């Protein structure tokens, strides 16, 4: 169990744990004078976690590691999501926890916009045709052609930081934007209007694009199922940059295969990596990216900015942290 005051800068050791992110190298460029180490796999983390006063980690985390971390005082999550952390256990052990909320809101919103544009402009099929060296002829069937976003209605499910950023981008394309959140309190801009989640079902038939930017909660799990997909326009797009389980994958596959909706831009799936046997791979009206909506060349530095702000707060003895969870 963590005891005592937070270590001074010259006594502190930070552990960075991620398979790909270059957190250690980017941190070294800050010349902070703080001791740090970096591991790339769970075995390395398990072997060295006992050295860490502060740990920066996300997907590699397992709650059993707390028992092997007697020095740990603070865990800075690399991700905005914190489902992997047992918050009650963190409280019991006296270990502070903060998320990286907001670290990639620009990237995720831009990715959602890219999926919309890609599907509407048929960029995914154009790339397939490029590989096949096929020059597609002009299309006589009007509904089968590329289309414009201007004038279309975008319903954003989860009108938080990412949702608002997406709304701003969509307005630049002259879309009508409706944001959905738990309550209508607060400013609606840049969306044209904000409704509550109670109106979700009634808005599906008017949406040309439904974009999911909501957190995974008991209320949002399975939110997009057969009934929701059946209520959408046959030409409508579904964009998921939230979490895989927000969508009933079997229902989505059936809707795509039957042409019940126009297409789907999917960055997250129920099981990741998406199994090779999944029928989702074969849906020509789906554009799939491997959970990369939040990826950006600025990711490491954005996380480190939050980390350093929280370290400063801990050194000053402040009660609250940026993006505090525990």
DSSP, res 229: H
100-138 core/surface letters (b: 16 or more CB in 10 A; e: else): bbbbbbbbbbbbbbbbbebbbebebbeeeeeeeeeeeee
Catalytic member of 96, 243, 249, 300: 243
String of DSSP letters for 99-160: --TTTTHHHHHHHHHHHHHHHHTTHHHHHHHHHTT--PPPP-SGGGS----TT-EEEEES-S
Active site residue 243: yes
- Identify whether 273 is preceded by a cis peptide bond (ω within 30 of 0): yes
Catalytic member of 110, 291, 309, 322: 291
Active site residue 291: yes
Residue 37's nearest CA partner among 20, 19, 58, 56 is: 56
String of DSSP letters for 243-289: -GGGB-HHHHHHHHHHTSSSEEEES--SSSSPPTT-GGGG-TTEEE-
DSSP, res 65: G
Active site residue 127: no
Catalytic member of 148, 199, 219, 272: 272
Which residue matches tokens 């509407």?
120
The residues annotated with a catalytic role in the active site are 243, 272, 291
């Amino acid at each position: 169990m963590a005891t005592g005051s937070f270590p001074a800068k010259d006594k502190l050791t930070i552990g960075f744990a991620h398979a790909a992110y270059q957190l250690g190298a980017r941190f070294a460029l800050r010349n902070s004078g703080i001791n740090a180490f970096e591991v790339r796999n769970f075995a390395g983390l398990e072997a060295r976690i006992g050295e860490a006063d502060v740990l920066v980690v996300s997907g590699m985390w397992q709650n059993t590691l707390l028992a092997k971390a007697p020095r740990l005082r603070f865990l800075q999550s690399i991700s905005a999501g914190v489902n992997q952390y047992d918050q009650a256990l963190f409280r019991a052990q006296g270990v502070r926890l903060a998320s990286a909320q907001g670290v990639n809101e620009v990237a995720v919103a831009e990715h959602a916009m890219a999926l919309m544009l890609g599907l509407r402009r048929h960029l995914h099929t154009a790339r397939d045709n490029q590989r096949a060296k096929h020059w597609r002829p002009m299309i006589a069937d009007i509904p089968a052609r590329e289309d414009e976003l201007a004038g279309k209605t975008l319903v954003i499910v989860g009108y938080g930081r990412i949702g608002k950023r997406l709304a701003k981008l969509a307005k630049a394309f002259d879309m009508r934007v409706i944001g959905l959140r738990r309550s209508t309190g607060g400013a609606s801009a840049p969306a044209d209007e904000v409704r509550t989640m109670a109106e979700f079902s009634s808005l599906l038939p008017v949406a040309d694009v439904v974009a999911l930017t909501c957190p995974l909660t008991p209320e949002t799990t399975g939110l997009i199922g057969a009934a929701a997909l059946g209520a959408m326009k046959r030409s409508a797009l579904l964009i998921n940059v939230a979490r895989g389980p927000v969508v009933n994958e079997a229902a989505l596959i059936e809707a795509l295969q039957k042409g019940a909706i126009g297409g789907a831009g999917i960055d997250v799936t129920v099981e990741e990596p998406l199994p090779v046997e999944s029928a989702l791979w074969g849906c020509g009206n789906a554009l799939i990216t491997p959970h990369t909506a939040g990826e950006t060349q600025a990711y490491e530095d954005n996380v480190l900015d939050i980390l350093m702000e929280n370290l400063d707060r801990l050194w000053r003895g402040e009660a609250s942290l940026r993006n505090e969870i525990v």
